[in-house]
A and B are shown apart, each in its own frame.
Chain A
Amino acid sequence: MSEKTGKSECTRRQFFVHVSMTLGSIAAVLVGVPIVGSILAPIIKKPEPEWRPVGALDSFKIGEFVKVNYVNTSPLPWAGVTAKSAAWLKRDGEEEFTAFSVNCAHLGCPVRWIEGARLFMCPCHGGVYYEDGSVAAGPPPRGLYQYPVRVNNGQVEILASPIPITTV
């Protein structure tokens, strides 16, 4: 009798252990899905690239790189000045343009166009690019990223894209 009681008590206890653990785990998973989902949202949700105006066609001189600013692909109302992005834009012909990312393909620092040298130079680790965006010197594993450009109703527009991440 006593043995049986002991055994049934143990089973009863084990049952409670299982109930507690199972309910705890289910609750953790139920709550965890929306929590982890919200935190990971930025890597799941991809904004569509957007055409952004950067200036009137007439305001660009042929053969000259200028830095243009535009609103990035996913501006939030409270982003303020951080919603801005920039690109290096050159008018090649009547309606032909070249636009490079300002981010160095090495580690993303902002490259500067040095007019006298006709080179892009990065201040961080000495990456240098020719005016066609190809690597001239330094550590960048590839040339500058290029953005599509179009002319729309006399306005030059750049296809605003994410910050280019150089992956392996």
Chain B
Amino acid sequence: MNFLKRAWLWFDDRTGLSGAIGPIARHAVPPNTATWFYVFGSATLFAFMLQVATGVTLAFIYVPSSGEAYQSLQYITTQTTFGRIVRGMHNWGASAMILLVGIHMIQVYLTAAYKFPREMNWISGVVLLALTVVMGFTGQVVRWDQTAVWSTIVAAEQAGRVPLLGGWLADFILGGDTVGGTTLSRMFAYHVFLIPALLFVFIGFHLYLVIKNGISEFPRAGDPVDPANYREKYETMVKQRGIPFWPDAAWKDMVFGFIVICTILVIAIVIGPPELGPPPDPSDIHALPVPDWYFVFYFAFLALMPPEIETYLMVFGPLLVGLLLFCLPFISNRGERSPLRRPWAVAIVALTIATISGLWAIGITSPWSPHFDAEPLTAEIIGADSGPLWRGGMNFNDKGCLYCHAISGHGGLRGPDLTYVGDRLSANELTWRIMNGGLNMPGFGGTLSNQELSDLVEFLASRKKE
């Protein structure tokens, strides 16, 4: 017997590790769970492990001080050996977490794996989803640049809309009543201590439940869940036809997990971490805070909803979604599991994906924002380089019209495209609208001279198709 083997036998004798873990690793699982369909939960776990490893590494170098974090991030990105790759992996790993959590959840919902006796599997999963989202947000904030500062303020403002408690919640998020020396330290504590501690607890619980209740078998149409006999049926099936989880089913988890980790690494090397924005200066107003991609759909949602109901949606929307998810296994915990027999479940998933994708697509262009960097109209587009037409075109540039209205491809998308406005509106109508404004347009009556107004109207009236 060589030394290593004897050392292991001694260690195993004193700790009993193989006796404790072996049966868990080799426990029998339903044969039809050993498919590529079942790799997403474990892939999420692998991505989480990568987040822990890269996150701890970043914490070796990062300085969680409102005044100095930005410099330490620059140091990580440009000076530290492999720092750029580690930051990149942590960033893209976060995206992978969100993506994999989403896929895992959709899959569990579609195959109704949340039904009896796995209600608590689902509920602990919902808690993990919420914690992952909070990690995503706090992670964007500890990337302490200009966007982080303004995102924190936007989050505090949203919390401020909660009835009664709003002001307190906002101060709690800011760590005071301004962004400053206390803000980042607290975000860091959430991101690095508090939420991860909860994640470890709930991931442990979630995995324990997977062992305790067994991996749910792939559903067959016409084989409904009945709490009265489900456990008995499951145990008999596993006893008769089960296969050991390790390695018969687990090898696919390992292969897919390997691909996920390698993909994150390659993206981190090729693309690298997101560029740091300008420094976190609350007095710098040239900020356009846009969240990372996985929050863009919510960003779009906030922008598109009618102002009259937004406070309610902002506060009760997420709460209601959370509550619905939480209650799902109590709403239906028996019956058909196969998506073939659950058209509503399929429809809900399809609708949710369509809605989120749609909001996401809109969020990328953010047509509700004034575009301050819009290209000014040129003499060619205006169709003159002097005279009233030219002056009107220049007024269109200078008076801010351009930020919201596009003409011939120049300008913002907030208001209607005015390329052919001359076909729709007469000079009188144009004058009236410019003077008085409208639904989402300020009235310019007080700020335009008569000359400017008539030039502008003449210019707009000339925007015709021919």
By a beta-carbon cutoff of 8 Å, the part of chain A in contact with chain B is: 40, 42-43, 46-47, 67, 69, 72-86, 102-103, 106-112, 114, 116-119, 121-126, 128, 130, 136-141, 162-163, 165-168
Q: Which residues of A contact B171 (CB under 8 A)?
A: 42-43
Q: Which residues of A contact B186 (CB under 8 A)?
A: 42
**CA A40 to CA B165, docked complex, whole Å:** 13
Contact B161 A167 (CB under 8 A): yes
Contact B156 A138 (CB under 8 A): no
Contact A126 B440 (CB under 8 A): yes
Contact B370 A123 (CB under 8 A): yes
Could you pull out 27 A-B pairs where Cβ atoms are within 8 angstroms? A42-B177, A42-B182, A43-B171, A46-B177, A67-B283, A67-B285, A76-B181, A78-B65, A78-B67, A79-B181, A80-B68, A81-B67, A82-B184, A84-B283, A107-B157, A108-B156, A114-B403, A121-B370, A125-B303, A125-B369, A126-B414, A128-B370, A137-B440, A138-B307, A138-B440, A141-B311, A162-B177
**CA A75 to CA B175, docked complex, whole Å:** 12
Measured CB to CB, the closest approach of chain B to A75, in angstroms, equals: 6
B160, B285, B440: the one within 8 Å of A86 (CB): B285
Contact A107 B158 (CB under 8 A): yes
Query: Could you give, for residues 207-237 of chain B, a 1 whenever the CB lies within 8 Å of some chain A CB and a 0 otherwise?
Result: 0000000000000000000000000000000
Measured CB to CB, the closest approach of chain B to A38, in angstroms, equals: 11
Given contacts A122-B370, A123-B288, 4 further A-B contacts (CB under 8 A): A117-B442, A126-B303, A136-B437, A162-B177
**Whose C-beta in chain B lies nearest to the C-beta of A165?**
B160
Contact A137 B437 (CB under 8 A): yes
Contact B285 A130 (CB under 8 A): no
Contact B68 A124 (CB under 8 A): no
Q: Which residues of B contact A111 (CB under 8 A)?
A: 285
B88 at the interface (CB under 8 A from A): no
B178 at the interface (CB under 8 A from A): yes
Measured CB to CB, the closest approach of chain B to A156, in angstroms, equals: 16
B432 at the interface (CB under 8 A from A): no
B167 at the interface (CB under 8 A from A): yes
B31 at the interface (CB under 8 A from A): no
Contact B311 A102 (CB under 8 A): no
Q: How many residues of B contact A (CB 8 A)?
A: 69
A75, A81, A86, A109: the one within 8 Å of B154 (CB): A109
B454 at the interface (CB under 8 A from A): no
Contact A107:B174 (CB < 8 A) given known A114-B403, A116-B400, A124-B154:
no
**CA A60 to CA B108, docked complex, whole Å:** 64
B416 at the interface (CB under 8 A from A): no
Query: Could you give, for residues 84-126 of chain B, a 1 whenever the CB lies within 8 Å of some chain A CB and a 0 otherwise?
Result: 0000000000000000000000000000000000000000000
6 nearest A-B pairs in the assembled complex, by CB-CB distance: A80-B67, A76-B181, A117-B400, A162-B177, A136-B442, A79-B181
Q: Which residues of A contact B437 (CB under 8 A)?
A: 136-137
Among A72, A77, A116, A167, residue most surrounded by chain B Cβ atoms (within 10 Å): A167
Contact B172 A85 (CB under 8 A): no
Contact A136 B443 (CB under 8 A): yes
Contact B369 A137 (CB under 8 A): no
Contact A102:B440 (CB < 8 A) given known A107-B154, A167-B160:
no
**CA A116 to CA B394, docked complex, whole Å:** 11
**CA A108 to CA B414, docked complex, whole Å:** 19
Contact B285 A125 (CB under 8 A): no
Measured CB to CB, the closest approach of chain A to B266, in angstroms, equals: 34
Measured CB to CB, the closest approach of chain A to B192, in angstroms, equals: 15
A86, A110, A168: the one within 8 Å of B150 (CB): A110
B444 at the interface (CB under 8 A from A): yes
Q: Which residues of A contact B311 (CB under 8 A)?
A: 141, 168
Contact A82 B282 (CB under 8 A): yes
**CA A63 to CA B176, docked complex, whole Å:** 34
B441 at the interface (CB under 8 A from A): yes
Query: Could you give, for residues 142-164 of chain B, a 1 whenever the CB lies within 8 Å of some chain A CB and a 0 otherwise?
Result: 00000001100110111011010
B356 at the interface (CB under 8 A from A): no
B66 at the interface (CB under 8 A from A): yes
Contact A124 B288 (CB under 8 A): yes
Contact B443 A82 (CB under 8 A): no
Q: Which residues of A contact B414 (CB under 8 A)?
A: 126
**CA A139 to CA B414, docked complex, whole Å:** 13
Q: Which residues of A contact B83 (CB under 8 A)?
A: none
Q: Which residues of B contact A162 (CB under 8 A)?
A: 177-178
Contact B289 A165 (CB under 8 A): no
Contact B68 A163 (CB under 8 A): no
Q: Which residues of A contact B153 (CB under 8 A)?
A: 103, 108-109, 163
**CA A80 to CA B440, docked complex, whole Å:** 39
Q: Which residues of A contact B442 (CB under 8 A)?
A: 117, 119, 128, 130, 136-137
A72, A118, A136: the one within 8 Å of B178 (CB): A72
**CA A116 to CA B285, docked complex, whole Å:** 18
Contact B177 A166 (CB under 8 A): no
**CA A139 to CA B368, docked complex, whole Å:** 10
